Amino acid sequence: MGKSILFFLFISVNSIVWCQPMRVLFVGNSYTHYNNMPKLFKDIASSKNINVDVHMSAKSSHTFKMHSERPDLYQDIQREKWDYVILQGFSRELSTDIATIDSMVVPYVKRISDSIYQQNPCATILLYETWGYEKGFPEDSVNTSYQIMSDHIHQGYLYLSKLFDFPIVPVGKVWETVKENNVSIPLYQEDLQHPSKYGSYLAACSFYAAIFKQNPNTTFTDGLSPDKAKYIQNTSFTIVDQNMTRYLLNRNVINVKSTSKDGKYKADCSANFPKAKSIVWNFGDGKTSNLFQTQHAYSKPGTYTITITIQDSCGERVLKKKVVF
């Protein structure tokens, strides 16, 4: 039998507790290292009692090609068996035409991702979608405004996502929504390109929402305005939650919905694990099921812990969810 990977998920007020630290590697440039965004993500998770180990491998102004030529990046990849690896490229290289992306981006994303999978075949690679410059980039005569550049970046990341089957963390779309609907939040540095503290906090909240499928809903604001931070938290979750399928974020997700009515106690259960070979639901009352989508009826009210065992090529994943009737 393969190695057993044990994760505990206790649902009560939507809290998640991981019994082992989640390991996340951020690969990017200044959009990643400004304001130490990975640490903001870690601090948000910590505020929710989730233990996350993060490591940042970021170099300013780096394209995917430049990343792929970095010996230190491959050392970072080999440092751990990362659960998640975040890939962020240079905004202008993703705001070009498909032919240019095919020649100047795709080969290098493949080189990096091949190295990641060689180290850990079960790692989840996420694409960090960035945003357009406040004034666009008129020098290239294509991205002449923020909206045009933002749309091009979005299409570029969607293309990579479809090509490689990588989920997207839609930071750029969250950015666009906040920018349009709450102009009082200063997302840019003075250069009108890089993220302010609010911009980096927005990115960190987007990563939390995308990875944990939850609203950050935290009092941790890193000294920012609580009202503005709350708006960013809610917006990041809304964009992620409404676009789970579009951005391939509806994978490796367990859903359990419990209902009680007229003396009947039911749990509607579903699991979306594309690479899973088998699943076993133990409903905590002596009954089991091996279907990926199933419904279970309990004979009496009470508190039950549902144990889900998923077998894939990397071994077993064991999760637990608590339901109360």
Would you state the pLDDT for residue 12? 29
User: Nearest Cα to 140, choosing from 170, 97, 107, 180?
Assistant: 97
CA distance 277 to 19: 24
User: Nearest Cα to 172, choosing from 191, 148, 154?
Assistant: 154
Q: What is the CA radius of gyration of the chain?
A: 21
Residue 122's CB is within 10 A of a number of other CB atoms, namely: 17
pTM for the whole structure: 0.86
Would you state the pLDDT for residue 275? 80
Would you state the pLDDT for residue 314? 76
**CA dihedral over 236, 20, 167, 104, signed as positive or negative:** positive
Would you state the pLDDT for residue 15? 36
Would you state the pLDDT for residue 20? 60
* Residues of the chain with confidence (pLDDT) below 70: 1-20
Q: From start to end of the chain, where are the E strands?
A: 4-6, 22-28, 52-58, 84-87, 124-128, 168-169, 253-261, 264-272, 278-282, 288-289, 293-298, 303-312, 315-324
Would you state the pLDDT for residue 21? 77
Would you state the pLDDT for residue 3? 45
Would you state the pLDDT for residue 120? 87
Question: Which domains does the chain carry?
Answer: 21-242 (3.40.50.1110), 253-324 (2.60.40.10)
Structure tokens that stand for 198 in this block: 């609010």
**% pLDDT > 90, the chain:** 79
